[in-house]
Amino acid sequence: MPRPTGRVLTLLELLQSGGTRTVAELADRLGVDGRTVRRYVDQLIDLDVPVESVRGRYGGYRLAPGCRLPPLMLSDDEALAVLLGLVAGLRTGLTTTERTASETASAKIRRVLPTHVARRLDTFLEALAFTDQPGDFDAPDAGVLLTIADAVRHRRPVSIRYTDRDGRRSERTLHAYGIVAHSGRWYVTGKDARIGEDRTFRLDRIVDARTLPGSFEAPVGPGPAQRVLSGFATAEYRYAVTLRIHGTVEQIRAHLPAGVARLEEYESVAGQDRVTERWLRVELRAERLDWLPPVLASLDRPFVIERPDELRDLVIGLAERLASHARQA
Residues 245 and 317 in one domain: yes
The answer to whether residue 103 is domain-embedded is yes
The answer to whether residue 232 is domain-embedded is no
Residues 171 and 245 in one domain: no
Q: Which domain holds residue 275?
A: 239-328
pLDDT at 274: 45
Residues 206 and 260 in one domain: no
The answer to whether residue 227 is domain-embedded is no
The answer to whether residue 249 is domain-embedded is yes
pLDDT at 174: 95
Dump pLDDT digits (tens) for 234-264.
666 788 899 999 988 889 988 888 778 888 8
pLDDT at 157: 95
The answer to whether residue 45 is domain-embedded is yes
Residues 95 and 152 in one domain: no
The answer to whether residue 275 is domain-embedded is yes
Residues 289 and 249 in one domain: yes
Residues 175 and 150 in one domain: yes
Q: Look up the CATH number of the domain holding residue 252.
A: 3.30.70
pLDDT at 304: 93
Nearest to 196 by CA among 213, 178, 175: 175
pLDDT at 17: 76
Instruction: Enumerate residue ranges in the chain where pLDDT < 70.
Output: 1-3, 66-75, 90-102, 112, 129-138, 232-236, 267-277, 329
Q: Look up the CATH number of the domain holding residue 33.
A: 1.10.10.10
CA distance 182 to 203: 12
CA distance 249 to 211: 42
pLDDT at 48: 81
**Total domains, the chain:** 4
Residues 264 and 290 in one domain: yes
Residues 81 and 35 in one domain: no
Integer-rounded Cα Rg, in Å, for the chain is 28
pLDDT at 275: 45
The answer to whether residue 19 is domain-embedded is yes
Q: What is the pTM for the complete model shown? A: 0.52
The answer to whether residue 193 is domain-embedded is yes
pLDDT at 201: 92
Q: Which helix (H) or strand (E) holds 326?
A: helix 309-328
Q: Look up the CATH number of the domain holding residue 151.
A: 2.30.30.520
Reported in sequence order, the residue ranges of 55-153 that DSSP labels E, i.e. its strands, are: 60-63
Residues 58 and 80 in one domain: no
Residues 106 and 47 in one domain: no
Contact 32, 7 (CB under 8 A): yes
Contacts (Cβ under 8 Å, ≥6 apart) of 143? 209
Contact 285, 236 (CB under 8 A): yes
Nearest to 171 by CA among 163, 183, 182, 180: 163
Residues 101 and 159 in one domain: no
Contacts (Cβ under 8 Å, ≥6 apart) of 157? 151, 173, 174, 175, 193, 211, 212, 213, 214, 215, 216
